[in-house]
Every structure is written in C-alpha cells, then in structure tokens.
Amino acid sequence: MTTSNKKNPYRGMFLTWLVLTIAGVIVSIYAPSRLMPRSMSDNMHLTVLTMIVFSVAAAPVAAGIYAFAIHALRHWTHKGEAVPAAGPVVRENAVVVTTWLLVSTLLTVFLLIWGLGALAVDNGSSSKNPLVVDVTGQQWVWSFSYPGTHVQSNELYLPVGREVEFRVTSDDITHGFWIANMGVQVDANAGTWTTIHTTPNQLGTFDIRCTQFCGLNHAFMVTQGHVVTAQQFTTWLDSQPQRA
Amino acid sequence: MSIDTHSAHDAHGASEGGHHEAPEVVDGRQRMGIWLFIGGDIITMSALLFTYLYLRGVNTGGHWRSMVGYIGHSYSYYQNATNLPAPSLVHVSTLSAGLNWSVSAIVVVSAAIIWAAERGLRASKNAKSYSTLAAVATIVTVLAIIFSIVQLRHIPQIYVAVNDSQTMSYTAYDSAMMVIIGSGILHLFILAFLGLGLTIRSARGVINGDKWYQARLVRMFWVWVAISAVIGSLVTTTIH
Amino acid sequence: MTTTLEHTTTDAAPLGGGLARRQNMATALVGGVLFAWLFWFLAHHFLDASSRNYSDLVSVSLTIGWIIGFWLGIGALNAPARWMMGRDNTHADDMYLAGQNQGKARYWKYCTDHKVVGVQYIIMTMVLLGAGGILAMAIRTELIVPGNHFVDQQVYNGFIAVHGLLMILALIVAVAGPWGNFVVPIMCGARDMAFPRLNALSLWTLVGAAGLLLTTLAVGSLSMGWVVLEPIANQAGVGMDFFAMAVVVFTVSTTVAGVNTICTVLTMRTKGMTLARLPIFVWGAIIAAALGLYAFPYFALVEAQTIMDRTFNTSFFVASGGGTGWLQANLFWLMGHPEVYVILLPAVAALFEIASVMARKPVFSYRTAIAGMTGLAGLSILVWAHHMFTTGWAPTLGGPFMLTTELISIPTGLFFLVLIGTLWRGNIWMKLPTIWMFGFIANFIIAGVTGIYLSDIPIDNQLHGTMFVTAHFHYVFVGSVLFGAVAALAFWYPKVTGRFLNEFQGRIAFWLAFIGVQVTFLSMFLSGLRGMPRRYSSYALIFEHTNFITTVGAYMIMAGMLVLLGAVITSWNKGEPAGPNPWHANSLEWMVPTPPPLENFTVLPVITEDPYNYGEELVRS
Amino acid sequence: MNKSKSLGVALASVLLGGGALALAGFALASATPHQSALNCVPSQSSPNTCTLTLSTFPDSLAGVHGKGGGPHPDWVSYSNDNLVVPANTTVNVTIDQYDSGGSLNNSFFDQVMGTVGGTATIDGKVVTSVDPTNVGHTFTLRGIPGSGKNIFVSVPLPADSNTKQVTIGEGQYTTPVVVQFSFKTGSKGVYEWNCEFPCGGSREGQFGEAMSTYGYMSGTLTVN
C-alpha cells in the first residue's frame, strides 16, 4: 500500500471507488424489483425499470463521494494536538470545475431524456376503448362503480390485459387513490374528476391504499382489488346486485 | 484576514461606538430596508392575485361566481348518482369590483398628498404645513378604511344545502375579493399609523426641513400601497 | 485588538420611565395570557354563540390577543409608540436596550445586542428541536407495532402535524438564527445588525409563535398534517386556528429577520470588506434570507385563507363554493420548496467555512460556491409543482417541472465539488466540527440521490405519499441540515462561551446520531418501497419489521441528541477554555475578544484581503 | 474534563433525558382516553359464535363518555368504540339505533354488505338494502390484517321514527330501531369500523367533529 502510494497516491481511492461502484450497480439491478410490491401492470414495470436505470447511473457518483471521504479520512487527516500547518493553496481550478459541471450536466440530461420518455409512455393511452371505472373516495372507504352496468362495489375487479381508465373523485375531502402493485396514483378531489390509465398484465390480488392524509382513519382506508380473466370479470359483474 | 489598524481612524465615527453615523448613512440603510419590505409585499400581492386568478381558472363545478343549481354534495357530479336532495336556491354573487376603484382612488389621492407634502417640506423647509398635509393624508386613509369595510359588508352571503342542512358559504369569487380587500385594509391601517406618526413628529419638529429622511421613507411605502391598490382593482375588474 | 469598549454612559435617563426597564420574558407571558383572556372574554360575550364558526372565531381572537399582549409585555411596541409620539430613543436608551451592564438578565429581555439575540436563538432552537424530538419519539413509539396501543389515531394525527411544523421552524432558525445573528455582523466588521430592534422583534415574535404552536397540542384535534392540507383542515378542531395563527406570526419573524440580515451585510460592512472578501457563510446567510423573503408571504397567505375558510365561510378550498384544495397545494409549495433551501443553504455555507478552517486551505473556488448557492435559490422557486405530481392538477405541466427539478442536481453537485476541493490534500484537523461535517457529506449524497428518484414522475407515481418520501426529506433535514447545524454549533461554541464543546461527548453523540440516522431512515426507505403510505397511525403486518427497526434507530438518534444537549449545557461553564481564536482562523469574528464586547470593535478594522489566506503570506496586526 | 468524567456526564444525560421521556410517555399513554374494550360474549348454544350488542345515540349522554356526556354531550355517538372478538368466529351483532336520519352522501351505503347471507334483520324484517334518504347511521367495518384477505362489512341503520320515550343513562330517547346481522372474522389483526352516514360537523362531507374524533362514531375491532 505504502509503495503503491508512492507510485500513485490516488490508487487506493480509485480502488475503493471501483469496489463501491460495482457493489452499487449489483444492488441497483437486483434490489428494486425485490423490494417493491409485485408488478402487475405495464406502468409498474416501467417504474421498476426506471428505478434500476437511475440507481445504476447514481452508483458511481455516490461511490465517488464515499471513496473520497474514506481516502480523506485515511490519508489527509492531521495527527497530533498541535495546530496543523497550512495545506496547499488551491483557490481555483477551472479545469476541474468545468469538468465537474460538464459531467453533472450530462448525467442530468440523460436522466431528463429517460424521464421524459418514460413519462410519455407512462401517461400514454394505448387502447381505443378502455374499461372505465369510476372511483369514489370517502372518509374512509373506497367504492368503485362500472358506468353503464349499475354495479357498485367496495372491491375492485379488473380484466387482465385490457386498459383501464380510472375516473377518480371524492365525496368529502382529498384522498389519494393508489394501487401499490400498478405504479399508478392520483388524488381524489371533491367536485373534480382526475383520471389515470393502466393496463393490468398479471392475474392476482392487489392492495389499494390512500396516500393523501385524510384524517382520523387514514391508515385504515384500504381495500383490495383483483385482476381476473375477461370472462371471470363478466361473470362477476353479472353476479353483483344491480343498482337503480 | 489582514487588518490595518493605523488607517482605522479615518473610518468616521468609529471611535465613538458607531452611534454618531451621518444621517444620510442611516437613511441609506433604512431605504434599503423599506425596499426589501416592499419586495416582500410585492410577493404577497402577487400571491393574492395568484389566488384570484387560480380560483377563476379552476372554477370548480362552475361555482366561481354562482352557486345556482348547486346540489348538496359532490356526489351529484357523479353520473349514475341516485336520490340526491333537491337543489337549493342560491343566487349569483352581485359583488362588483367597482368599489375597489373608489378605494384605490382614495388611496392614490392620499399618496399624492403625502408626496406633495414631502416635496414641499424639502423645498420650503416648512414643517408646519407638512404636518397639516400629513394629517389630511391620514384622514383620507381612514376614509379609505371605512370604504373598504363598507365594501366587505356588501359581499352577499350565500346559503347552500349540504345534506339537508343549510350552511352559509361565499363563492370562490367573493372569497378571493375578501382576502384582497382584507389585505388592503391591513395596509391602510399601517399607513394611518405612519401618517399619524409623521403628523405628530413634524408638529414636534422631529421631522423638519433638514431632517426629512423619514418623510421619504414613509412616502416610498405609501406610494407602493397606492400602486398595489390600483393593480388589484385592474385585475379584479378586467378578469371576473 | 483585545481591548473592550468602556462606556461612560452607563446610567443615563431610563427608557420611558422605570416600567420599560423591567420588561422581560415574564412580563411578556403575563401580558400574553392577560390579553388572550381579554380577547377571549370579549369574543366569548359579543359573538353569536349559535354561529357554526363561533368556536373558531373565539380561538382566533384569543390567539391575536396572545400575540399583541406578548409584544406589549416584552416591550416590542415601545419603540413604535415612541416614534409616533416623536420621542425617539436617546443613545442611552439604545445602550440600555442593548443590554449594557445587565449581566445575565439581558438574555431574558427584549435585547438588541446581536450577540444576545444569537444566544437566545441557540436556546430557542434547542427548545423547538427538543419539543419536536419528543413528538418524534412519541410517533415512533406508536408505530413500533401495528395497531393503536400507545395513543389513538386522533392524538397521533396531532403529533405528526405539530412535530412537522416544530421541526421546520427549528431548522429554519437552527443555523441562520444563532450564527446569522452572532457571527455575521462581526464577520462584516459591523458593530451590530442594521436594525437592532427589528432583530429583537424577530426573536421574540418567534417565541410568541412557538408558544401558540405548543398550546395547539393541548387544544388538540389537528388532523391535517403540518402542511395544513385542504380541504381537510376545515374538519380539524379549534387547535387548527392556533396552528395557522402560529404560522402567520412566524412569517412576520422570518421576514423581519431576512430584511435585517440583508441590510446588515449590504450596508454595514467595514472599510475594505468588499463582497468578494466576505466569508462564504455570510453569502449563504444573505442568499437564504433573500429566498425566505420570497417564500414566506405565500405561507402567511395560505394560512390566512385557511383561517378565513374556518371563520368567515369563504370557499378558497371548499369545492361546494367553487374552491379547490389545489390552491392550498400551490400556495403552500410555492413557499414549501424554497423553504427547504432557506433551511439548507446556511448549513452548507457554514460547512464551507468549517472545511476551509479545518483543512487549513482556502475555500475551493469561492465563486463556484456562490454560484451554486445562488443557482439553487433561483431554481428552487421554479420547482414547487413536483410536490403535486400526483394531485391530478395540470398533468401537462409534469414535464416542465420534472425538468426544473432535475436541474437542481447541478448546483447541488457544486456543493460537493467545493467541499471536496477544499478538503483535498489538506491537513484536516479532526475536531468536532470536522467529524459532523463528514457525517453531513455521507448523508447528503443519499438525500440527493433519493431526491432524483422522486423528481421522476413514473417513479413518483409509485412512491409519492409513501414513507420513501418521508425518509428522503428526513435524510435532508436530520441527516444533512441537523449535522451541519451541530458542526456550526461546535465550531462557533468557543466564540460564544470561551470554552470548547466537550470533544469526547461530542464524538459519542456523533456516532449515536450517525448510526441512528442510517438505521432509522434506511429502514424507512424499505417501508416506503414495500408500499407503506405516510402519516399512518397503524399499518399492515407486512410492514412490521422495517417499522420496528426504524423505531430502534430513532431512539438511538434521541440518545445522541441527549448526549449533545448534556455536552452543550455542561461545557458552557466547565468546558476546556478556548481563548479568542481556538481554530486559528482568519475571519473577523475570531479577531475580537471572547466573548465579544458590546459593539464588537473598539476601532472598526480595515480589510485588505479575504479570510482564506492559509499558507499565503500572513500580515497580522 | 477528563474522559471518564465526560463519559459519566454523557451517560447521565442519556439516562436523565431518556427517563424523563419515558415518564412523559407513560403519563401520556395513561392520560389519553382509552375506553374499556367490549368483549364479544360467547354463545352457549353454538360453537365459534359470539354476540356483540351496540347502540347509536343522537348525543353522548348514554354512551361511555362520562358524567353529563363528557366534553361534547351534543355529539352523536356509538355506545362503545373498541370491540374485541376471537378469530375465525361468527359474530352476531345487535345494534339499537336511537337516532333520526337523512340522506346518505353516497347511496352505496344503503346496501347490506359483507354479512352472512348478505342480509340484515331490521325490526324483524330481513332486508338487503334500505331507503338511502332515511338512514340514521351505518356500521362499516374494514381493514387488511397484512397479507390476508380484505374484510368489509357495511350495514345501514335506518332512522328511528318511533315515538315511545325511553331513558338510558342521562339521555331521553325514543324506542330504537333494532338491526341484527352477523359476520365471520378472519385472521388476527386490528380492523377499524365507523359510521359512513355524514353526521358530523364541517363543510365538506359533514365528516368533522363526532365523525373525526376518536370514540364517537368510530372505533377499532381487535381480532385475537
């Protein structure tokens, strides 16, 4: 180490950076999909993918900071109680500043381009006749109705593979309609409609939680939804009580 | 930090503990303070107008100015709604921004008076006449306050049926107007206080032909209040 | 320059008779309570008790009474009254107000000496942090297991609201309050702030606001979060009125303080102290002050509208009257995002100062540092809607706001550049401030990276409103700002007390807090990723383990903060003596004796170069 | 100050501070009003069955809010707030509804949902839904105890139009509408129930005051 320091004092820092970066990249690739709820829609796939990309992009930067900090603590700290002698006088270094700006700008631009692209995909409505579901938030219950069918339910049933358009409103104060497994979230506002689109692509059950603080029992404003096959969906619709 | 103490004594007043600074030095500092306060006040004004324009833009349920046909609760927006309570009659807001103009006009007049008074003071060095004019400006301001309160009382109260129970409510338009007028009243009270201060101080000769700096400071703020009043009237009359 | 000022005008004519001289915090409290009662009594008797707004009107007038009485009692209204009557303070009066020859008593008075105000701000910050921290512990205790066992949902909702606002107020003043008042004027070579009485006003107004805020807990029923969500704030109990009024009063304090700081720096600099020679902390202080001047009017207005909705039946946020909760979101975040940088910038600037002194090197690229801070301040007023990506308001604006938000990472990166460049190959003096600074560096990068996720709408659509967001901004506020604030405290503590903050205890506190922060908020990230929304008083079993770990970590942080508090208190009189310039720094505050005398300088110094000339040829007087 | 002394001070501050906090916590926990839990009474006849009996009042005089109705005598209230039932059991609930009524915010809640057989017995009449314009309160129970199945029970309680006077506690009421239904409890966990008829104060949705205050129109259902 000491000899290598003589050769190149920053070799240690570089190695630390390399190790941390590799570790970071590995974690970035494997962690998101395992830490987040099971993906059940195209939006959620996109979300997880974006998280992986951003984490990979951020790993070398964070690693750099930590590598520097570790190196500084190991090699550049002043030993002893006496007042340290002055360090080297470096007031400006145009090259370093410009490079730093350039790199951070490039990273930001990359994130932006990816983000805007992902946003376009995220908001895009792929289908001509989406299944419309009217979502009503009320302290502290969600209710779902299927226009044209006179069916109103407290659990959400969706056919797999068909785009859904949620039209969300509230009966009292603002709630946050969030399907934890589908990466879609929008507030339910009194007197206003907000809409989100998603296409469920996995069969199964998912949780719906309120993400906008809505008072006393906010924590209990939860319900479940089910993604079922198309004809299971129609059978379910028919089985429901028809409301005037 | 390298410090040269030998040349320190030509920093004037330094050895006297800094309290004998030249009046124009103090004045310059205070003018900057006033400018900064006005800056903060400009933000407040823009926030008020933002409120007004934003509510106008969103116009939830078309109830910006009118709640005619308003039905008990938002469930009524719901296409397959059932068993809604009967629509309750509520009338359109008849409030007009016209009174804003009358108030603004009065404030502008008071600002003009205080400005003229200051010019007179600096030209003719006559503190007595300044005192009189400041008193007049103060009285005019109080008039503006009274007008604003009258205006507030003109805002119609609207009754809405929510779940069969009558509750009073103002439309968004009325609300935005109320907050603009309210902030106006707040400013007018400050002006009245300052005007009274100027009157008394000049009467006592604390403000005089040579010490007129505070007159200018107050005038700066006064003029800004007048301008903001006019801006408020402009916006509320052109967009509604 | 170690001689102090001898003043011959010690017992001049008392200020407005004897009474004004006896005013202190006690009379302020008495006055506040008295007027609160008076206003309550009047409202109680002359208002229509059948009105739906009766209780709100009563409590609002009560709060107004409190603050008026408090101002009267502390003596804040003496000067305006004397101005109006044309009987200005004499120099003797001003000297008395500045606390001349009043010993410890002046710390409990409406004292205009910027150093006294600075110390009062230190105490105020610790009180607010302490109260907020106790609530944080209560929140984590409630969340240690699923279900409501410690307190019920309602009390819990009150806790999260008051914890949030208390901590925000505490951090807004944590660095800018104590050091913006204590050291900034000396750094500029000024004898005091530009407007000493306004300085005292800002401090004591903050005290009044804090009093209101702490009473809200007793009044209770605060189910609206610290951001005062609308329209739900219409449902909250009368505690809501106290809460909103506390905010309005607080904005008065910050506005006054901001104007004062800016004027001081721009007009009170001594000869030769050009803007390019200002210590970097001064730049941070005034940029933050200017940003606060921009931001806080929105805060005052939105709370005023909240009060109007509750008391006058206006419909700013009530859909049935044509209002919308989105208005609250817009106005609040127009303030809310700049406010984050009002909190962050002074801490970062203080760390630049500390890095330079401790590494014995000039601040690396002084101009870049200023550019970064200015750029951040400028951008921060253009990003507010990224807090509203999921509200459904104007989805088309998502792209532009995503752009401005992600641009913020560029000036933020410059902060790291300046810190790294300053420490690079220095002789880093590993004292307490340095250690906490390294803690800041380690935490701030995590805060920054997680911020990038949230700025991206597809990710935000999943993570917004979850514990992930909570963990992110706690890494900013606790992991970064609080660490910076403690570093600043350890750095300037010797200048205030003449003694070092106990090194050993400081290190114990650091390790407890640093490890605690990682344990607490990394596990909180997990809760968020797994799908636990914010502001939950209870949670499903799948979140059990991460929440338990979070609570354990939170207790660790509290232990660290307690050790620090003990150190601050015990070192004040018993710490190791430090002398006037313990860090051998070059900026002006270290040139004056410790504690600095009234009016700081016998003769105002004349400056010939900036304070970062380490290793360059030193010319000392 | 030497190291050991410093360490002593550090420990002292942690112990003192922590102790003070712990005391404050206990004080708080005991000070916050936790009303006595109502345990489900096991029935002798059939196994895995128990009975809960509740009431809804137009005020707080008859509930468990203490003498004179506690802080808000005029607020509507349920007779209990914290219900404790065993897991995987059929719970027979009887609710005496003493309050008048009006229209629902959301007519969704005029149906009987999640009960055994999807029905409820109202004054001896078996129904699946009631008139949404004449509802007094509802009993609406929900929650997800972790990864388990969502539970949702909602039963409308029609308005009381009887005239015969009765006295309960300090309150004067008319003879109640009696609503009976039963539901099956799932796995262990804490659930939450409340009234979905907008009977509180405030302007948006009438969900303030009694609706937003713990222990009046809402409570928890603890399954263990």
Q: Which token pair is A39?
A: 């993906």
- Is D13 close to C562, i.e. CB distance below 8 A? yes
- Is B175 close to C91, i.e. CB distance below 8 A? no
Task: Give B199→chain C minimum CA distance, Å.
Answer: 9
Q: Which one of A147, A190, A243 has the shortest CB-CB distance to B74?
A: A190
Task: Give B93→chain D minimum CA distance, Å.
Answer: 20
pLDDT at C428: 93
Render each residue's pLDDT in chain A as its tens digit; 244 residues: 444 445 688 898 999 999 999 999 999 999 999 999 999 998 999 999 999 999 999 999 999 999 999 999 999 998 878 888 888 888 889 999 999 999 999 999 999 999 998 888 877 766 778 899 999 998 888 999 898 888 888 889 999 999 999 999 888 889 999 999 999 999 999 888 899 999 999 999 999 999 999 988 898 898 989 999 999 999 999 888 876 5
Query: Searching chain D, which residue's CA lies closest to the CA of residue C221?
Result: D213
Percent of chain D with pLDDT over 90: 9
Give me the residue spans of the domains in chain A: 2-123, 131-239
Mutate to test the interface with A, among C461, C507, C543, C618 (most CBs of A within 10 A): C461
Task: Give C607→chain A minimum CA distance, Å.
Answer: 19
- Is B3 close to C1, i.e. CB distance below 8 A? yes
What is residue C154's three-state secondary structure? helix
- Is C445 close to A62, i.e. CB distance below 8 A? yes
- Is A171 close to D211, i.e. CB distance below 8 A? no
Percent of chain C with pLDDT over 90: 72
The model's pLDDT over C377-400, given as tens digits with 9 standing for 90+, comes to: 999 999 999 999 999 888 888 889
Predicted-complex ipTM score: 0.91
- Is C258 close to B172, i.e. CB distance below 8 A? no
Mean pLDDT of the C151-160 span = 88
* A-C Cβ pairs (cutoff 8 Å, strict): 261
Tally the residues of chain A: 244
B120 part of contact set with chain D, CB < 8 Å: no
Q: Which of residues 59-118 of D touch C (CB under 8 A)?
A: none
More confident residue, A243 or B217: B217
- Is A209 close to C457, i.e. CB distance below 8 A? no
φ and ψ at A39, to 5 degrees?
Answer: -75, 130
Has residue B6 got a pLDDT over 60?
no
- Is C409 close to A108, i.e. CB distance below 8 A? yes
pLDDT level of residue C434 (50, 70, 90 thresholds): very high
Mean pLDDT of the D11-35 span = 82
Has residue B93 got a pLDDT over 70?
no
- Is D103 close to B163, i.e. CB distance below 8 A? yes
C550 Cβ contact list (under 8 Å, min separation 6): C140, C143, C519, C520, C521, C523, C524, C527
Mean pLDDT of the B193-218 span = 92
pLDDT level of residue C569 (50, 70, 90 thresholds): very high
> Where in chain A does DSSP place strands (E)?
77-78, 131-138, 141-146, 151-153, 156-159, 164-170, 175-179, 184-188, 194-198, 204-210, 222-228
Task: Give B94→chain C minimum CA distance, Å.
Answer: 15
Has residue C95 got a pLDDT over 80?
yes
Chains that touch A (3 or more CB pairs under 8 A): B, C, D
Query: Searching chain C, which residue's CA lies closest to the CA of residue B196?
Result: C84
- Is C86 close to B206, i.e. CB distance below 8 A? yes
Mean pLDDT of the C336-362 span = 94
What mean pLDDT, rounded, does chain C reach? 90
CA triplet A61, A62, A66: central angle to 5 degrees?
120
Determine contact, residues A124/C398, Cβ cutoff 8 Å.
Answer: no
Residue linked to tokens 């008495």: C30
- From chain B, pick out residues whose CB is under 8 angstroms from the CB of A244: 82
Cα atoms found within 13 Å of the Cα of residue D166, Cβ hemisphere only? 14
Architecture of domain D37-223: Sandwich (2.60)
Task: Give A148→chain C minimum CA distance, Å.
Answer: 25
- Is C297 close to B43, i.e. CB distance below 8 A? yes
Determine contact, residues D77/D70, Cβ cutoff 8 Å.
Answer: no
pLDDT level of residue C12 (50, 70, 90 thresholds): very low
pLDDT at C261: 95
- From chain C, pick out residues whose CB is under 8 angstroms from the CB of B93: none
pLDDT at A5: 47
Mean pLDDT of the C542-552 span = 93
Architecture of domain B25-54+96-238: Up-down Bundle (1.20)
Q: Which one of B75, B164, B167 has the shortest CB-CB distance to D102?
A: B164
In whole angstroms, what is the distance from residue D174 CA to residue D176 CA?
6
Q: Which of residues 60-99 of A touch B (CB under 8 A)?
A: none
A169 part of contact set with chain B, CB < 8 Å: yes
The model's pLDDT over D179-208, given as tens digits with 9 standing for 90+, comes to: 999 998 888 888 888 888 877 766 666 777
In whole angstroms, what is the distance from residue D96 CA to residue D196 CA?
17
The model's pLDDT over C585-608, given as tens digits with 9 standing for 90+, comes to: 989 999 999 889 988 998 889 988
In whole angstroms, what is the distance from residue B171 CA to residue B159 CA?
10
Determine contact, residues C178/C122, Cβ cutoff 8 Å.
Answer: yes
Residue linked to tokens 């933020």: C412
Task: Give C130→chain D minimum CA distance, Å.
Answer: 11
- Is D146 close to C542, i.e. CB distance below 8 A? yes
User: 3-state SS string over C86-107?
Assistant: CCCCCHHHHHHHCCCCCHHHHH
Has residue B91 got a pLDDT over 60?
no
Mutate to test the interface with A, among B64, B74, B83, B163 (most CBs of A within 10 A): B74
Domains of chain C (ranges; CATH) run: 27-85 (no CATH), 110-590 (1.20.210.10)
Determine contact, residues A12/A74, Cβ cutoff 8 Å.
Answer: yes
The model's pLDDT over B17-27, given as tens digits with 9 standing for 90+, comes to: 445 678 888 89
pLDDT at B16: 43
pLDDT at B159: 57
Has residue B92 got a pLDDT over 90?
no
B32 part of contact set with chain D, CB < 8 Å: no
Query: Searching chain D, which residue's CA lies closest to the CA of residue A220?
Result: D143
pLDDT at D35: 60
Phi-psi region of C365 (alpha: psi -120 to 50; beta: other; left: phi over 0): left
- Is B169 close to D203, i.e. CB distance below 8 A? yes
- From chain B, pick out residues whose CB is under 8 angstroms from the CB of C185: none
Q: Which one of D104, D106, D206 has the shortest CB-CB distance to B162?
A: D206
What mean pLDDT, rounded, does chain D reach? 83
φ and ψ at A120, to 5 degrees?
Answer: -60, -45
Q: Which of residues 122-151 of D touch A (CB under 8 A)?
A: 128-129, 140, 142-144, 149-150
Give me the residue spans of the domains in chain D: 1-32, 37-223
Mean pLDDT of the C10-30 span = 72
C402 part of contact set with chain A, CB < 8 Å: yes
pLDDT at C181: 94
Has residue C139 got a pLDDT over 80?
yes
The model's pLDDT over C448-502, given as tens digits with 9 standing for 90+, comes to: 999 999 999 999 999 999 999 999 999 999 999 999 999 999 999 999 999 999 9
Q: Which one of C324, C417, C536 has the shortest CB-CB distance to A192?
A: C324
B72 part of contact set with chain D, CB < 8 Å: yes
pLDDT at C230: 85
Q: Which of residues 259-288 of C touch A (CB under 8 A)?
A: none
D145 part of contact set with chain C, CB < 8 Å: yes
Q: Which one of B60, B80, B82 has the shortest CB-CB distance to A192?
A: B60
A226 Cβ contact list (under 8 Å, min separation 6): A155, A156, A157, A158, A204, A205, A206
Mean pLDDT of the B121-140 span = 92
- Is B82 close to A170, i.e. CB distance below 8 A? no
Mean pLDDT of the B146-153 span = 85
Domain A131-239 has CATH 2.60.40.420: yes
Has residue B77 got a pLDDT over 60?
no
Q: Which residues, listed in sequence order, are joined to residue A223 by a DSSP beta bridge?
A: A208
